[in-house]
Structure 1
Amino acid sequence: MKALKSIGRWLALGTAGVLLTACVILQPVQEAQKLIGAPESTVRATFGEPTDIFRLDDGTVRWIYSKQPLGRQAYAADFDTSGKLTRFRQMLTTTELYKARIGTWTKRDVAEHFGLPREPTQYFPLMRRDVWSYRFLHEENWPSLFHFYFDDAGVLRQTQITPDPLADPRETIR
């Protein structure tokens, strides 16, 4: 009987651990809201190592947790100058992507907002454009790619949204 209680306790602990992990994986923004004001070490313990770290011009720090190249999320964890979490949000949304400013933003601005590209970058020599692409859900519904076109100086010159070929059933191998 004592062995059954012990097994039951371990089973309950294991289930609780799996559920907690599932919450962090499936609802990272909601979980991170509970951590606002927490130090970097707590965020790292909860979400792991970020894929990118940027020191922003105002002295704050942004960590990017990218699910690219196949995922459609890149989460930004913003820390104040004392290392406390101030904001956590999904960056690959239509609203956030539309904040990109043609003629003003550079590769650095795009990387700081959405993380470094995980898709292979492309260069179009006739256009003289380097293209970075990110998967996202356009209007939170349509699997799409958002493309940033940079000139040779690294300045954003054009953006484009296209359907994600990986989500097109006609593109699957039969």
Structure 2
Amino acid sequence: MPKLPALSFLWRWAVMLVCTATVMACAVPEWQKPGTPAAQLLEDMGQPHVRVPLAGGGERWVYSRQPAGQQVYHMQLDAQQRLVHVEQVLQEAHFQKLQPGQDNRQSVFNYFGKPALVEGVGNFKGDIWTYRIRENSIDRMAHVFIDPQGVVQRVMFTDELRSDDDSRP
């Protein structure tokens, strides 16, 4: 029976996709070990969504799973560009640290990365940045109200209602 070149090509392509997915599945921020050099992190994780210089010459790399995911990871590197620690920051406690009137659009972006949604409402002049979070196994949303001057005015939390939730009547 003659070989079909198209099937051979598709088979190789499928194998390559599976291998790539397997390697990418191993590149999980919380599995990275302290002391890992920045070059290895870049190879494993790819470019961070945000890079923030820290005092003392270190850096914070922000990896976000928004808009669909509910995690944003901080990977803190020291001045020698080695990983110090990893922390998942999409939690109410981190949003409650925001200081209305002091924090601004850039500080929110540098800490949490790009929001899942930017929207507005009639009774607030400015943008509302919404982040999808998970607290105690409950899907929630953190809403950061940013006025036209780019200053945080308030933070509010709501439960995320899902249309696929079978627990509702």
Tell me the TM-score normalised to structure 2 length: 0.74
User: How far does the alpha carbon of each residue in 1:34-74 deviate from its partner, in whole angstroms, 9 at most, with x for none?
Assistant: 2x122211111222222222334664322111111010001
Let me know the Cα RMSD of the aligned residues: 2.7
Q: C-alpha distance in 2, partners of 1:61/1:134?
A: 23
- Kept in 1: contact 2:117–2:131 (CA 8 A): no
* Shift in alpha-carbon separation, 1:149–1:137, aligned structure 2, 3 A: same
Q: C-alpha distance in 2, partners of 1:68/1:153?
A: 25
Q: C-alpha distance in 2, partners of 1:83/1:92?
A: 24
* Shift in alpha-carbon separation, 1:68–1:93, aligned structure 2, 3 A: same
Counterpart secondary structure, 1:123 = strand
Aligned to 1:131: 128
The one of 137, 149, 153 equivalent to 2:149 is 153
Aligned to 1:73: 71
* Shift in alpha-carbon separation, 1:137–1:61, aligned structure 2, 3 A: same
1:6-155 to structure 2, matched below 5 A, reads 18=22, 22-25=25-28, 28-29=29-30, 31-32=31-32, 34=33, 36-56=34-54, 59-117=57-115, 119-124=116-121, 126-138=123-135, 140-155=136-151
Q: List alignment gaps of at least 5 residues for structure 1.
A: 1-13
Letter in 2 for 1:109: S
Of Structure 1 and Structure 2, the greater helix share is in: 1
Q: C-alpha distance in 2, partners of 1:124/1:46?
A: 40
- Kept in 2: contact 1:130–1:151 (CA 8 A): yes
Identity level (%): 26
* Shift in alpha-carbon separation, 1:168–1:162, aligned structure 2, 3 A: farther
Counterpart secondary structure, 1:161 = strand
